Amino acid sequence: MKRHRVILSFLVLLLTVAVTVSAQNQERQMVTVDGICYELHDNHRAFLGSFVAGSDGRTELVIPQYINADGECYRVQGIRHNAFEGNTDIISVSLPDSIIIMDRAFKNCTNLKLINVPKNGTLINNVFENCTSLEEIEIPYGCNILNGNSFFMGCTSLKRVVIGDGIDYIPHKCFYGCTSLEELVMSSSIGEIGKEAFAGCTNLKRIIINPTDSRNYLYMSVSEGAFPDKGLLESAIAATASTRQLNPDDVIRGVVRDKNGYIMMVEVAEVDPYGNKVGQDFTSRGGEFAIQLENPAHSIRFSCRGYETVELPVNSAYYVVRMERCSVPDADVPPRKGKAIRSHKGHEYVDLGLSVKWATCNLGASRPEEQGDVFTLGETAPVPDDMAHLGWGGRWRMPTSAEFYELCINCAWEWTTRDSVQGYKVTSKIPGYTDRSIFLPVADGYSGLLPFYTGPRGEYWSSTVITDNPDYTFILYFDSGNVDVRAYNRKFSRSLRPVTP
C-alpha cells in the first residue's frame, strides 16, 4: 500500500483546509430554475448540474447568462462534469459567452445536432465526444481550449469545422475519427496541431487557412499522425503564404526551433544590404520572436548565441527557422564551473541553467527514485500555503506552470529505469549546463488511498491556478511517450518537486 507520510505542520494545514471546504460545501445550495439544477457558489457564481427528475424528454437546452435564486442574481459560470452525458433527447443547446464546459459534459449526446461553442468560453476534455449527430462546429475567437484531448472525437456526422482567429492550438485527438469531415477552415493563428488531432478523418478533402490581421506570419508545428494526408495541409500552407505581402511597419513574428524543440535566446535581427542591424529581438522560452519591419527589401538574420548564423530574405509571410543547436565543438562551450549539485536548508538541488534550480528529490523522499509524499490542494482556490516552503523552509517553494514549461522546452527528456524505478532523466540543453540533469520518477495521482490511473505515469503539482476555473490547477504530466503541462482537478493527491531561486 502506498505510504502517506505527512509532516505535522502539513497535517494542521490540511485539517484547516478540510474544515474550510466542509463549511463551504454546507453553505452551498442546490436550486432549480426552469427544470435545471444549479449549484450555488460564493461570489454569486452558479454551476449547472443536470435536468431535475421529471424534466427528461426536453429537446432544447437554453442556458442563461444569469439566474435568480432567493432574490439574488447569480452568474452561470460553468457546466459540471458529465452533466448531460448520455442524454439522447437533447437536439440543440444554446450557451452564453464565457462559460466553462467541463469534462464529458455532453459526451454521448447522440442526437445533439446544434450547439454554439461559446465565445470566450473554456472547453475541458472530451466535452462533445461521440456526439454522432453534430454536422458543423465553429470554435470562435477567444475560446480557450485547455490542454487535453478528444474534444470532438467520434463525431462521425461532422462535415465542417471552422476554427476562429486567435486560437493557437488544436489538441491531441481533438477530431479523431470524425469520418465524415470534409472541410477544415482555420486561421494562421494556429501554432500547433497535436498528435492524431485529425487521424481517421478519411474524407477530409479541403483545408483552408485564412491569413488574419492578428498574425502576419504562418508557423505551424504538426505532430506525427495529425492528418491522414499531410500533403493536403502542406498545399494549404503554401497557398496561404503566397497570398500574403509584408509592408513597412508590419510585425514579423515567428518561432525558432531545432529537432529537439524550441530555442531561446536566439538573436533575430533585421539587417540592411550592408549588414547593419536596424531592429532586433531575442527568442523567448518558447522560441518566439517579433520584429517591426522597416523595409521588406531587407533580410532577417538569425544568430544562435553567436555560434551560427542563418540569413533569409523578407519575401514571405512566415518564418520557420530550423537550426542545429550549437554545432561548434564541445570544447568551445565549457561546462559550468563549480559543483553540479548543491544544497539549501539541507536539501540538494541542481542548477540546469534555467530561471530556478530544481530539487534532486520529491518532497517527502530521501532518494531521487522515491515518489515521496502526495498532497491535495483542496477543492477550491486559493492554493493553500506553499507546501514545499512549509516542508523545507528557506527559499524552497512549489514550481509555477511557466517553470514547468521552461523545464519541458529547454531540457532533453529520456525515459529510463533507475534502481528499478521508471521515470525521466531530464538533462539541460542550455550551453554550459548540458552535463547536468535531474530524475523525475513515476508518481501516481491518488483519490483517497487508491491511484486513479493504471500504468507508469507522473503527476506533479504546480502553484498556478486557472483564473477562470479555480477548481483546476496546472500540473506536470508525463508517461512513457508524452510530457505536457495540463490542467487537472485540485481535489486529488499528487507529488511535488520543489524549486528554489
| pLDDT tens profile 397-440 | 999 888 888 888 788 999 999 999 999 999 998 888 888 999 99
Q: If you average pLDDT over each of 246-260, 286-300, 444-458, which comes out highest?
A: 286-300
CA distance 94 to 103: 18
Interval 62-69 mean pLDDT: 91
Bridge partner list, 210: 187
CA distance 352 to 339: 12
pLDDT of 142 above 50 = yes
pLDDT of 189 above 80 = no
Element (H, E) at 242: helix 230-242
Q: Is the peptide bond preceding residue 382 cis, with omega within 30 degrees of 0?
A: yes
- Strand, coil or helix: 62: strand
Q: Which pTM was predicted? A: 0.49
**Tens of pLDDT along 91-118?**
999 999 889 898 899 999 999 999 999 8
pLDDT of 226 above 90 = no
What lies within 8 Å, CB to CB, of 64 at 6+ separation is 76, 96
19 class by beta-carbon count within 10 Å (0-12 exposed, 13-18 middle, 19+ buried): exposed
Q: What is the model's pLDDT at position 18?
A: 38
Query: C-alpha grid cell for residue 359?
Result: 530539487
CA distance 270 to 291: 8
Query: C-alpha grid cell for residue 381?
Result: 482556490
Selected residue with higher pLDDT from 180 and 492: 180
Q: What is the model's pLDDT at position 385?
A: 67
